[in-house]
Amino acid sequence: MTFHSVCDIDDVWEGEVAEHEVAGHEILIVHHIGGEVTALQALCPHQNISLAEGSFEKGLLICRAHLWQFDGKSGAGVNPSDCRLARYPLKVEDNKVMVSVDGVVPFRVGS
C-alpha cells in the first residue's frame, strides 16, 4: 500500500476539515475533537459538491447544497442513510498526514 504525504497535522485544527488532491482523488482530511484524524472522499456523492464548503458539526459533515449528512469518522450516510463516503487508509507519521488511495473508489449516487 502506497501512502502519500498530504499535509502536516497542524495544518488542520481539531474540529476542522481540509480538502486535498491526492493522486487524482479529492480527499477530505477530518480532524476530530480529541485528536483522531480520518480521510474521506471530499465530494458529496449526490452532486459532487465539496464537503469542505459545508459544515462539520458534532461529528457530522453536512453538504451545503442539500444538507446531506455523513458521519465524519466512518463516512456512513446519516441523512439519507442509503449512501456513504469512501474512507481512505490514513496514518500520521512525524506530524505528517499520510493517505493511501490504493483500491478506493469514491461513492456516487447511482453507481
pLDDT value of residue 74 = 97
Spatial contact of 47 and 65, defined as CB atoms under 8 Å apart: yes
* Residue 33, pLDDT above cutoff 80: yes
Q: 57-81 burial by CB neighbour count: b if 16+ within 10 A, else e?
A: eeeebbbeeeebbbbbeebebbeee
For the stretch 15-31, pLDDT in tens is 999 999 999 999 999 99
pTM, whole model, 2 decimals? 0.94
| Separation between Cα atoms, residue 17 and residue 55, nearest integer Å | 9
In a domain, 50, yes or no: yes
Q: Is residue 111 domain-resident?
A: no
pLDDT tens-place string over residues 43-81: 999 999 999 999 999 999 999 999 999 999 999 999 999
Q: Is residue 110 part of a domain?
A: no
Domains held by the chain: number: 1
**CATH assignment at residue 68:** 2.102.10.10
Whether residue 100 lies inside any domain: the answer is no
* In a domain? residue 37: yes
pLDDT of residue 1: 87
Q: Where in the sequence is the domain holding 49, given as residue range(s)?
A: 4-92
